[in-house]
């Protein structure tokens, strides 16, 4: 094998990579040392903006295989036949901390999945929790500010974290989830993934259904106590990355079984609570889990920056037969992600290999042109306008999803007015499902955080939420908080 030659960015051979060029022995450096200047300048530009949330993450490739016939509910091509396989890329993440944060912390986990289908990339950008803290995207920047580092102290502040929740009763369900055992997964392999939002599926006959996605881990759910997590963070801050990487390198490929809950579209309007409210789950007794297929992760990325850091998932990357529901949070996200990608990665981020659609040879086929770092500019005979007389790509005239009927007046409406839209009953139901030991740990975790809050009014407002969820829950949290605050 011929010896590999070190080159400059322009491909010219480098003579000396150990000594900078100087004026005389021991003299100052020379501006003409192209290799030195390029090396230092290039190094200064290695970092790009980190994700504003979910900055710290790990990814892996794999495939999704359909195991059950779901064509009654969707005409999505990649779900159209049992045995059909689609290549995937999944990025797991924590939410609140920055890129250098630890993995084993109490935080929701991202579960962002890209299906490279033959009808384009389908992104399902979910979490390991079936619900979320808020139900209107207008609150998202405030929510995230309150959970990330304080602008003055540079630390996450219990006052801010709990002050936001004091003003967001709808967060009680997700707070109960987060402070419970599942709040710190033992690894990315040992947790479920959820689409969380309600999405719309449309079948070949044009009939619409609302669905919720559940990816159940086949490794079993495993969680860490607050004490175990603190110890693990001290030993290996990148514990979840280590676990995922090593499992796949050993050929122990993690897998999840996908189920959906399916609601015929006509049932949405009269359901007893708003089925598009992201702070609520649909009881399985109303809409049972229907198995769809199996997700397997079997290949680590070759380069973490190129493939994991530069991965771009957007909830509005749908394929025919799958579309959005009127969930306000989802609607806000349809804007937010691609906008973040244009800022973080640039307008041509879909030309990066991890993001490029594999359905069309050469990437997306449209009339979008140019911009920073463009590599896809069509062949020399392609026109850059449409319609044209030169056999350029043209629209299909086939609707991607069934239409939704809307009525009423524009306005900033707080709730759509279903019979049971209160913010607390599902938090109470979740609490009552827990064993005595789980309740004990939940109460201790909440009290550990809430007792650090310096203002009485913030503590009282939060206590009122737990009382509203369940009398026993409220009483026990209140007693535990008061005991710790009196210490």
Decide if residue 324 touches ligand HEM (CB under 6 A).
Answer: no
Q: Which of 35, 54, 173, 349 is catalytic?
A: 54
- Tell me which of 341, 441, 465, 476 binds ligand HEM, using CB under 6 A: 341
Task: Compute the 3-state secondary structure of the chain and give helix, strand, coil in percent, each to the nearest 5.
Answer: 30, 15, 50
CA separation for the pair 184, 292 (Å, rounded): 27
CA separation for the pair 381, 118 (Å, rounded): 25
- Tell me which of 313, 318, 466, 473 binds ligand HEM, using CB under 6 A: 313
CA separation for the pair 169, 260 (Å, rounded): 28
CA separation for the pair 258, 75 (Å, rounded): 17
Residue 175 Cβ vs ligand HEM, minimum distance, rounded to whole Å: 15
Decide if residue 126 touches ligand HEM (CB under 6 A).
Answer: yes
Give whichever of 53 and 184 is closer to ligand HEM, judged by the CB atom: 53
- Tell me which of 120, 137, 363, 449 binds ligand HEM, using CB under 6 A: 137
Radius of gyration of the chain (CA): 25
Q: Is 445 a catalytic residue?
A: no
Decide if residue 332 touches ligand HEM (CB under 6 A).
Answer: yes
Decide if residue 304 touches ligand HEM (CB under 6 A).
Answer: no
Residues 6+ apart with CB under 8 A from 330: 197, 198, 199, 276, 278, 315, 324
Q: Are 299 and 61 in contact (CB under 8 A)?
A: yes
Q: State how beta strands 57-66 and 290-299 pair.
A: antiparallel
Residue 307 Cβ vs ligand HEM, minimum distance, rounded to whole Å: 11
CA separation for the pair 458, 461 (Å, rounded): 5
Decide if residue 101 touches ligand HEM (CB under 6 A).
Answer: no
Structure tokens at 120: 């384009």
Residues 6+ apart with CB under 8 A from 46: none
Q: Is 145 a catalytic residue?
A: no
Q: Which of residues 348-407 bind ligand HEM (CB under 6 A)?
A: none
Decide if residue 476 touches ligand HEM (CB under 6 A).
Answer: no
Count, residues near ligand HEM per rule CB under 6 A: 27
Structure tokens at 248: 């796949």
Considering only the stretches 75-83, 132-140, 155-163, 220-228, report the one whose residues sit in contact with ligand HEM under the rule CB under 6 A.
Answer: 132-140
Decide if residue 289 touches ligand HEM (CB under 6 A).
Answer: no
Q: What is the DSSP string of 246-277?
A: HHHHTT---EEEEEEEEEEGGGSTTSSS-TT-
Residue 391 Cβ vs ligand HEM, minimum distance, rounded to whole Å: 35
For residues 193 to 222, the per-residue mask of contacts with ligand HEM, x marking binding by CB under 6 A and - elsewhere, is: ---x--------------------------
Give whichever of 352 and 468 is closer to ligand HEM, judged by the CB atom: 352
Comparing CA positions, the residue from 363, 427, 432, 457 lying closest to residue 173 is 427
Between helix 456-469 and helix 436-450 the angle, nearest 10°, is 160
For residues 23 to 52, the per-residue mask of contacts with ligand HEM, x marking binding by CB under 6 A and - elsewhere, is: ----------------------------xx
Active site residues: 54, 127
Residues lying near ligand HEM in the complex (CB under 6 A) are found at 51-54, 57, 91, 93, 110, 112, 125-127, 132, 137, 140, 196, 311-313, 329, 332-333, 336-337, 340-341, 344
């Amino acid at each position: 094998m011929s010896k590999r030659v070190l080159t400059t960015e322009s491909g010219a051979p480098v003579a000396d990579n150990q000594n900078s060029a100087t004026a005389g022995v021991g003299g100052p450096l020379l501006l003409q040392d192209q290799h030195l200047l390029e090396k230092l300048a290039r190094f200064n530009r290695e970092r790009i903006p980190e994700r504003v949330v979910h900055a710290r993450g790990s990814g892996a490739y794999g495939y999704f295989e359909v195991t059950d016939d779901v064509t009654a509910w969707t005409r999505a091509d990649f779900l159209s036949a049992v045995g059909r396989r689609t290549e995937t890329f999944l990025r797991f993440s924590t939410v609140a901390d920055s890129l250098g944060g630890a993995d084993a912390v109490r935080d929701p986990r991202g579960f962002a999945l890209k299906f490279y289908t033959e009808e384009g990339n389908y992104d399902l950008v979910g979490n390991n929790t079936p619900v979320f803290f808020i139900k209107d995207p207008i609150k998202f920047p405030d929510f995230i500010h309150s959970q990330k580092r304080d602008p003055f102290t540079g630390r996450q502040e219990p006052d801010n974290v709990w002050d936001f929740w004091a003003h967001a009763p709808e967060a009680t369900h997700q707070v109960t989830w987060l402070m419970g055992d599942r709040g710190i997964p033992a690894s990315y392999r040992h947790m479920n993934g959820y689409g969380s939002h309600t999405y719309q599926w449309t079948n070949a006959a044009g009939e619409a259904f609302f669905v919720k996605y559940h990816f159940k881990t086949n490794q079993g759910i495993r969680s860490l106590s607050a004490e175990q997590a603190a110890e693990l963070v001290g030993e290996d801050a990148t514990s979840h990355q280590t676990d995922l990487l090593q499992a796949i390198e050993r050929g122990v490929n993690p897998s999840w079984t996908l189920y959906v809950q399916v609601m015929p579209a006509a049932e949405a309007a009269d359901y007893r609570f708003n089925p598009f409210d992201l702070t609520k789950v649909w009881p399985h007794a109303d809409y049972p889990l229907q198995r769809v297929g199996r997700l397997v992760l079997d290949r680590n990325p070759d380069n973490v920056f190129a493939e994991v850091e530069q991965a771009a998932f957007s909830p509005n990357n749908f394929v025919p037969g799958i579309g959005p529901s009127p969930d306000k949070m989802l609607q806000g996200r349809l804007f937010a992600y691609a906008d973040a990608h244009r800022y973080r990665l640039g307008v041509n981020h879909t030309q990066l290999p991890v993001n490029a659609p594999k359905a069309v040879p050469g990437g997306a086929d449209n009339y979008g042109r140019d911009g920073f770092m463009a590599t896809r500019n069509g062949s020399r005979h392609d026109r850059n306008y449409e319609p044209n007389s030169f056999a350029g790509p043209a629209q299909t005239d086939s609707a991607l999803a069934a239409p939704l009927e809307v009525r009423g007046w524009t306005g900033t409406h707080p709730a759509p007015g279903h019979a049971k839209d209160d913010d607390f009953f599902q938090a109470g139901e979740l609490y009552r499902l827990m064993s005595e030991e789980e309740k004990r740990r939940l109460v201790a975790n909440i009290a550990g955080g809430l007792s650090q809050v310096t203002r009485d009014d913030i503590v009282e407002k939060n206590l009122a939420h737990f009382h509203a969820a369940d009398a026993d829950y409220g009483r026990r949290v209140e007693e535990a908080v008061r005991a710790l605050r009196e210490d």
